[in-house]
Structure 1
């Protein structure tokens, strides 16, 4: 991963220098649509309503279990997930786009009961702990079609995603642990990424957009699909600094194949996002 990070860092630095250089020297042969920026930076958060299921089943299909983090472990249904984007445009109709977000959640729940058996009182309790770490990053080359105040974009690239999490359960009787179990996942993968977009500029200060992207991978230890769609608006009270707001829907469905059993992750997010926007 060190080589990959260094390569991406050099690539991003090179792209930024070329973009700023072209912008400063006025290298554009035609007038660029005001729905696009030479360099665009998005920093914000995704305040999403979540529904998360973690399932496991043995290879023979006999043993099977499913746990909903929000309903069974009282995870917060709403939590802010940080998100960042960078867009670069070269010339008039081509560019790069980068996207990254992180989901980090953990919680525990304890239940207790008292049982009377043959005149003796027994205190029993059970504890469940769950944690989930999900990282997603993508990079794509984009082509923009159209001119004036409306442009349509198609992007092709790659996405990297990593999942790390698990569920631990234990049961005690009169303070003595009688049973415990743990199921966990720790895997990452690369997959092809397809992006679609539309942008419209009402004027120099107000714009709106629609973004959609999809990742799908078959085979390998970690496979599945990730879909994302968003409708948003941008407002720039200043020339280079503004704000963005969007409503997004994200669906993540992944499967990790282990030696004795398979793990399934099914997450759905929907809700508003807010960004501070910088454009150059």
Structure 2
């Protein structure tokens, strides 16, 4: 009987040891804490009050057309951010914004049509919509008041433009006048890798400061180009799980469309952003 009891007790002893080991490990994980500059989970919703500067260009049946590089008035862009932290150092970050704006321009100049120099005026009205979403994995260094993050991920960018235009051009030797009008639309989307750098600092339990920078580059394919972004700001927790975030940033989008008729989009957005952030 004693042998039977001893053998039956061994599995229970093994399970007990495993339970003690698991409990000790769980207790150690519970005691470990991330940097006070980071949240376990957060969701931010707000707006980017941008000062856009835009230049469009493309091939037409009458030659190359490029608009001036000019400001087109302030615009408010909806923006959403989210972050998730696994353990003490591994995290995910998400960022989305949308730009939608009407645009009108008149261009005077010279070009070449069917081997002959022509000059004239082209007027265009366009509606531009740009959407960008980024998802990145970040590794965070530091568990004190300073935290530094390095991220790798992917970005999705979609641009759509539609509009109408009128042109009046003339050519010499022999003298001829051309007039045309038309309308149309085009859209493209692209996936590209992204690299991100972040810094967070907790001044105290309620106030943090931060800085972020990132870059996207896409070579080859129907659409290629690069996107750069950077921002710096401050966060104030006015309640236990709710804070206000304000920053000043820049988004630089430079895209080139390949094909029989190429097209270019150069968009620069600068200005402040404000968010309401729920954090845990």
Equivalent position of 1:245 in the other structure: 246
Equivalent position of 1:199 in the other structure: 200
Q: Which has the larger radius of gyration?
A: 2
Equivalent position of 1:153 in the other structure: 149
Q: In structure 2, how many angstroms separate the alpha carbons of the residues matched to 1:26 and 1:159?
A: 37
Gaps of 5+ in 2: 1-26, 107-120, 169-178
Q: Are residues 1:139 and 2:140 paired?
A: no
Gaps of 5+ in 1: 1-24, 111-124, 173-177
Task: Quickly say closer, same or farther: Cα 1:208–1:170, change in 2 above 3 A.
Answer: same
2:276 is paired with a residue whose SS is strand
* Contact 2:200-2:209 at 8 Å conserved across structures: yes
Q: In structure 1, how many angstroms separate the alpha carbons of the residues matched to 2:123 and 2:255?
A: 26
Q: In structure 1, how many angstroms separate the alpha carbons of the residues matched to 2:104 and 2:195?
A: 37
In the TM superposition, residue 65 of structure 1 has moved relative to its aligned partner by: 1.4
Q: In structure 2, how many angstroms separate the alpha carbons of the residues matched to 1:53 and 1:183?
A: 18
RMSD: 2.7
* Contact 2:98-2:129 at 8 Å conserved across structures: yes
Q: In structure 2, how many angstroms separate the alpha carbons of the residues matched to 1:26 and 1:42?
A: 31
Equivalent position of 2:189 in the other structure: 188
Q: In structure 1, how many angstroms separate the alpha carbons of the residues matched to 2:262 and 2:122?
A: 25
In the TM superposition, residue 126 of structure 1 has moved relative to its aligned partner by: 7.9
TM-score, L = length of structure 1 = 0.76
Listed one character per residue, the Cα deviations across residues 202-231 of structure 1 (whole Å, up to 9, x for unaligned) are: 011000000111110000101100000000
In the TM superposition, residue 67 of structure 1 has moved relative to its aligned partner by: 1.4
Task: Quickly say closer, same or farther: Cα 1:227–1:271, change in 2 above 3 A.
Answer: same
Equivalent position of 2:273 in the other structure: 273
